[in-house]
Structure 1
Amino acid sequence: MEEIMPRHESRRTVLKSLAAIGAGLYVGPVARADDSKSPNEKLNLGLVGVGGRGYANLQGVASQNLVALCDVDPRQAKTAFEALPQSTKYADFRRMLDGETLDGVVVSTTDHLHVPIALNAMRRGLPVYVEKPLGHNVWETRLAAQVAREQQVATQLGTQIHAGDNYRRVVELVRAGAIGPIEEVHVWVGKGWGGGTRPTDTPPTPEGLDWDLWLGPAPQRSYHPTYLPANWRRWWDFGSGTLGDMGCHYLDLVFWSLGLKYPTAVAAAGPPPDAETAPVGMTATWDFPARTVEPAADGAAGGEMPAVKVTWYDGDRAPRELHGIKLSGSGVLFVGKEGQLLADYGSRKLFPQEAFADFTPPEPSIPASIGHHAEWIRAVKTGDPTTCDFAYSGPLTETVLLGLVAYRLGRPIAWDAETLTVPDVPEAAALIRPPYRAGWEIA
C-alpha cells in the first residue's frame, strides 16, 4: 500500500487534480464538532500527515472541507500544501486541534504517532480515521478502542481492501460452509520491511523538518535520511515491520470470515531478534478458541466455529506451496475439512478444483460498500456504523502486534486478553506497554 500514485502520473497532473478540489474548498466559519450534520452537509476535516499514504487518504475525503493540513515535513507535504492553499497549515497536530474547530480528523502518520494523535482528537469528541495498524503497541491499541467506545465517536481503520467486493464473497463462502469447518488458515506476504543497521553519522536535519515532532513518543535519536520517507517501517521505535505494515490488510479477511477476536496463544519464528529492526522474514502463529459467531449487521451469516490456528509468513519466509497448491505474491489459504479456499485482494478459488467444478456459490448477502472513506464520512454525519471501527480493528491490530511480541521475546506466549498480560513472562510487559518519551506520555 506504499504506492501513492501511478508511476506515470506526473506531479503536475496531481497538482492539477488537487487544485480542482481546492478551487471548490470553502474555508470560512467552521462548524462545531457537536453541531448536527445532514448527509448533504460537508464536514470540516483536519488531516495529520498529508504526504505518502496521507496523500491517498486526502483524496479519499476530498469531497469534504479540508480546512487544516498538518505535517512535520514540508517536503513530503508540498503537493498537498500547494494544491490546497486555502487550508491552514500546521506542523504540530496539537496546535491544529487547539486552533481549529473540526468535525473529524484523519491520521496518516508513522505508526508510533497513530494513537497519541487519535486519543487527543477523540477526547475532544472528534471522530477519527486512522491508518493501519491502529497502534504501535498492544496497550495503546486497547486504550484507543476503549476511548472510542467511551466517547461514542465514529472511527475507521485504514484497511481499505475491506470495502472491496471480493472480500465480501470470500466471507460468504466461509460462513456458508463451502469448504466445511475451518481449523487452519495460512496468510503470506512476499515483501519484507526489515533489516538495517542503526546509522552512526549525523547529517544535518533538512530545512523545515521538525525532527523532534517526527520522533514524538519514540526515544531520542539523531535525524538520518535512512528513516524517511518510508523506511521507518523497519525500525521498532517507529514501525512494526512487514507484519505491522500488511498484517491488518490480510488478517482482516481471516478475522471477518471467522469472527475472530483475541488469540489465546502466540508463537513466532525467524532470525534472531534484532534490538533495532524487524526481520526481513518471519512467521507467526495464533491460536483462537472455538466460538459462536453471531449473524452480523453487514449480512454475514453466523454459526458455531471450531478452534483455529492462523499462520503468517512474510519476506523470505513466504511459502511457494501449501497443501499441494502453488502460491505466489500475497494471499490467504483457508483449509477446511471439505476443501481449501485461496484468496487475495481481488480473486478467490476453491480447491480441489475438480471437486468444485459444479459448485454454486451462495447468493450475495453482504451489500457493497459505499467506499471505505465514505463509510466513515457517513458515520460522522449520521451515526451509522463503519465496517472497521475500533471495536473490530482494535483486536485485529492487537493480534498483529502480539505476533511481534512473541517474535521479539523469542518464545511462545500464552495471552490473557482480559488483563493484557503474558502470565509468567514478566519481560513481556515492556513490549506490551513500552515507555514513552518524556512529555509524550498517554494514559
Structure 2
Amino acid sequence: MLKKENSNDSPQNSRRNFIRNVGAAAAGFMIVPRHVLGGKGFIAPSDRLVIAGVGAGGKGQSDIANFYKGGKAEIGFLCDVDDRKAATSIANFPKAKYYKDWRELFDKESKNFDAVSVSTPDHNHAIISLSAMQLGKHVYVQKPLTHDIYEARILTEAARRYKVVTQMGNQGASGDGVRQLQEWYDAGIIGEVNTIYCWTNRPVWPQGIPWPSESAAIPKGLDWDLWLGTAPYKDYVDKVVPFNWRGWWDYGTGALGDMACHLMEAPFRVLKLKYPTAVECSVGSVYVNQKQAYYPDSCPPSSHVVMSFESRKGKTPLKLHWMDGGIQPVRPEELEPTEMMGGDGGNGVLFIGTKGKMMCSTYGKDPKLLPLSRNNEVKVKHTIPLVPGGEAGHYTEWVEAAIAGYGKKELSSDFAVAGPLTEAVLMGNLAIRSHSIQRPRADGKGMNYPGRNIKMLWDGANMKITNFDEANQFVKRAYREGWKLTV
C-alpha cells in the first residue's frame, strides 16, 4: 500500500509536487550537488516518472518491469481486471496501490502519477489512452495502437493536442536492425523498392471458428464485465481470457494486429510510407461437413492482403503483401536452397528493389542483403543515430522523454509515427472483414455467401472506402452502452 503523502518513496511525490514544494524555498538556498542530497546513485524526484500500469499481467507485466529496469521510473499504481494475472506485478511492486477499474484509478489518483502504460486487450486501448491524455498524462500503449482505424486517428491527433509524450509498444522500432536497413536503402544499395512481403506464422490461437454455444463460470478474481469494456456484452466462455481473445473481432485484431506492427514497421520507416491508396485480400476457407462455413465473429485461419501505395512523391508505386497463417512468398532466387528466409519462427520481411533485395526477421532483426555474400562486400557509412540499448531502450527512451517533457526528445514510435502505421495495419483487417459480407444474389433469391475479392479504394485523409460503402462499417465500431470515446 502507499504511504502517507510526506513519504519520500510515495508515488504522490511526483515531479510536479517536488517542484512545487521546493519552489517556495528556492530563493533562500544555494544549488547543492545531487550526491550531497541523496548519496551516490540518488535520483531526484524531479528526474523520476511515476507510472500507472493499466494491464498488469501478461504483456503488461513485462512492460512494467522494463520501465522499472531503466532506473528512472517508479511504478506507483497497478490496475488489472484479473487479480490472478496481476499477482506477479503486485508481488514485484508491493508499494504500488492496486485498482481493478482504471476509471476509479484515474478519478482518485490523477494528481499522483505522471504517465500511463496501457497493456490491455486491443478493444480497450483507445478509451483508456485518450482518457489518460486528456488528464495530461504521457502514454505508452501496446501494439496495435488501437482496435479501429478511427481510434488510431483520434489518438494521433490527441497526442498533439494535449502535448504528451507517446510511444507504441513495437520495440523493434528502436532496434539497430531497422536502422541498418534504412542505411542500405538510403545509400541506393537495392535501388527503388517496388514490392514488399511481410509474413507470419500467426495465428497461434483458434481462428475461423464459431463462438462457443455454452457459457462457462467466470473465474474467481476476473471482473468479466469490466474486461468487456467497450465490447458488446456476451456471456463468459472458456479460454477467451487470457489469450484467445485475439481471434475474435469484438476484442482482438487477429494475426495482423498481433504481428504487423512488428513486421510492417521496418518498411514504413525505411520507405517513409503513410496511408495505402487501395487494399484487397483473399482469406483461408473453413469447411464443415464438406460445405464452406463463415464465422463473421472470428478472424479467418489465414489471409493474404495486398496494399497499394500509388501516390509517392518522386517514388515508384509500391505493393506491400501481408501473409499470415503460415503462407509465405516464393523464395528469392538469390537464396541458396538451405539458407533461411526471413527469421526463425516463420516470420519475415522481404524488400524487392530495382537493384537488389534485402530481408529481415521480426522487429527488423537480422537484416541481410541478398545474396548473403553481399553482406561481406557492401560497406556504408552509418549516419543514423542508434537508440541506446536498442529494443530495451524503447522503454527507457519513453521514460526519459516524458521526464524531459513534450517535444524535447524524439522517439522511435510516437503516435505521429505509430498512428499512421496502425491505420495501415487495420486497413488490412478492414479488407479481411469486408470479405465476409454477404451480398444479395443477382436473381434476387436470397444471399450469396461472401468471398468476392474487391479492390477497395481508400481515401486516407477522410478514412473512407470510396467504392464499396459496406466496408466503412469497420472503420469505426459502436461502443457498448455506458462506454464512450469522448473526443
| TM-score normalised by L of structure 1 | 0.87
Q: Secondary structure at the match of 1:227?
A: coil
Q: 1:372 aligns with which of 375, 394, 398?
A: 394
Per-residue CA deviations over 1:87-108 (Å, capped at 9, x if unaligned) read: 1100000111111121000000
Alignment check: 8 A CA contact 1:188 1:318 kept = yes
| Inter-CA distance 200–165: structure 2 relative to 1 (3 Å threshold) | same
1:170 CA displacement: 1.0
Alignment check: 8 A CA contact 2:18 2:46 kept = no
Distance in 2, matches of 1:181 and 1:414, equals: 24
1:153 CA displacement: 0.5
1:86 CA displacement: 1.3
The reply to whether residue 412 of structure 1 matches residue 426 of structure 2 is: no
1:40 CA displacement: 6.3
The reply to whether residue 231 of structure 1 matches residue 244 of structure 2 is: yes
Alignment check: 8 A CA contact 1:258 1:305 kept = no
1:318 CA displacement: 2.6
The reply to whether residue 189 of structure 1 matches residue 203 of structure 2 is: no
Q: Secondary structure at the match of 1:226?
A: coil
Per-residue CA deviations over 1:310-341 (Å, capped at 9, x if unaligned) read: 11111132336245646362111100111110
The reply to whether residue 339 of structure 1 matches residue 364 of structure 2 is: no
Q: 2:48 aligns with which of 42, 60, 66?
A: 42
Greater Rg by CA: 2
Which sections of structure 1, spanning at least 5 residues, go unmatched? Answer: 1-23, 293-303
Q: Secondary structure at the match of 2:125?
A: helix
1:157 CA displacement: 0.2
1:424 CA displacement: 3.2
Distance in 1, matches of 2:483 and 2:13, equals: 29
| Inter-CA distance 113–35: structure 2 relative to 1 (3 Å threshold) | farther
| TM-score normalised by L of structure 2 | 0.80
The reply to whether residue 327 of structure 1 matches residue 344 of structure 2 is: no
| Inter-CA distance 35–125: structure 2 relative to 1 (3 Å threshold) | farther
1:368 CA displacement: 3.0
For 1:441, the aligned partner's letter is K
The aligned residue for residue 395 of structure 1 is 420
Which stretch of the first structure deviates more once superposed, 90-99 or 223-232? 223-232
Identity of paired residues, percent?
Answer: 35
1:134 CA displacement: 0.4
| Inter-CA distance 277–35: structure 2 relative to 1 (3 Å threshold) | farther
Which stretch of the first structure deviates more once superposed, 253-262 or 324-333? 324-333
Per-residue CA deviations over 1:40-64 (Å, capped at 9, x if unaligned) read: 6211110000110001101111131
Which stretch of the first structure deviates more once superposed, 187-196 or 166-175? 187-196
Distance in 2, matches of 1:318 and 1:228, equals: 30
1:358 CA displacement: 2.6
Which stretch of the first structure deviates more once superposed, 83-92 or 267-276? 267-276
| Inter-CA distance 202–378: structure 2 relative to 1 (3 Å threshold) | same
Alignment check: 8 A CA contact 1:25 1:66 kept = no
The aligned residue for residue 421 of structure 1 is 464
How many residues end up aligned between the 2 structures? Answer: 409
Per-residue CA deviations over 1:150-199 (Å, capped at 9, x if unaligned) read: 11100000001112111211111112211111111111112224333311
Distance in 1, matches of 2:221 and 2:473, equals: 34
CA root-mean-square deviation = 2.2
Give 1:351-362 correspondences, 5 Å limit.
351-353=370-372, 358-362=377-381
| Inter-CA distance 116–160: structure 2 relative to 1 (3 Å threshold) | same
1:414 CA displacement: 0.5
Q: 2:90 aligns with which of 78, 81, 100?
A: 81
| Inter-CA distance 230–25: structure 2 relative to 1 (3 Å threshold) | farther
Distance in 2, matches of 1:105 and 1:402, equals: 27
Q: Secondary structure at the match of 2:198?
A: strand
Which sections of structure 2, spanning at least 5 residues, go unmatched? Answer: 1-6, 21-43, 286-293, 436-453
Q: Secondary structure at the match of 1:321?
A: coil
| Inter-CA distance 354–379: structure 2 relative to 1 (3 Å threshold) | closer
Give 1:63-212 correspondences, 5 Å limit.
63=71, 64-100=73-109, 101=111, 102-192=113-203, 193=205, 194-212=207-225
Per-residue CA deviations over 1:367-395 (Å, capped at 9, x if unaligned) read: 33450011111111113121101110000
1:35 CA displacement: 7.6
1:274 CA displacement: 3.0
The aligned residue for residue 29 of structure 2 is none
For 1:284, the aligned partner's letter is V
1:357 CA displacement: 5.6
| Inter-CA distance 90–317: structure 2 relative to 1 (3 Å threshold) | same
Q: 1:220 aligns with which of 223, 233, 255?
A: 233
The reply to whether residue 317 of structure 1 matches residue 321 of structure 2 is: no
Alignment check: 8 A CA contact 1:186 1:311 kept = yes
Distance in 2, matches of 1:103 and 1:252, equals: 28
Which stretch of the first structure deviates more once superposed, 402-411 or 133-142? 402-411
Alignment check: 8 A CA contact 2:457 2:465 kept = yes
For 2:160, the aligned partner's letter is R
Distance in 1, matches of 2:357 and 2:17, equals: 49
